[in-house]
Amino acid sequence: MESDDTTWHLEVSRSADRTVLHLRGEFDLVTAPQILGSVEEHLAAPTGELVMDLRGLSFIDSSGLSALIRMNQRLAGAGRGFSIVPPPHNVAKVFQITGLDQVLPLQPA
């Protein structure tokens, strides 16, 4: 479990073939590098699906979106599964406005 208690919190749950990263708080210019650092070990794992659960996200900006795009590209390049549990509607609007809801592997709402 990693966090900066004032702006974000990351909780990890694992099974044999899947890791779920539950992100709460803000995913922005300030927090994106910290969050990426915290998920690096899960991105570097050789196998297993990675799921980013964004239901606890309260804000995302272009830095957070860029980080998700990089995660998607890296995992696809490694032949690993990746999916995103969409954030609440007010945050999910950013995915829709940018068209990333059509590009990133969002699970059905």
Give the CA angle between residues 41, 4, 13 to the nearest 5°.
45
Token pair of 58 as six digits: 């309260």
In this prediction, residue 4 carries a pLDDT of 58
Q: pTM of the full predicted structure?
A: 0.92
Q: At what angle do helices 89-98 and 62-77 cross, to 10 degrees?
A: 70
Question: How long, in residues, is the chain?
Answer: 109
The residue ranges of every structural domain in the chain are: 2-102
Burial class (CB in 10 A: 0-12, 13-18, 19+), 68: buried
Query: Using CA atoms, how far apart are residues 20 and 2, in angstroms rounded to an integer?
Result: 14
Burial class (CB in 10 A: 0-12, 13-18, 19+), 21: buried
In this prediction, residue 9 carries a pLDDT of 95
Q: Which CATH class is domain 2-102?
A: alpha beta
In this prediction, residue 59 carries a pLDDT of 97
In this prediction, residue 6 carries a pLDDT of 72
Per-residue pLDDT of the chain (109 residues; tens, 9 = 90+): 555 567 899 999 999 899 999 999 999 999 999 999 999 999 999 999 999 999 999 999 999 999 999 999 999 999 999 999 999 999 999 999 999 999 999 998 7
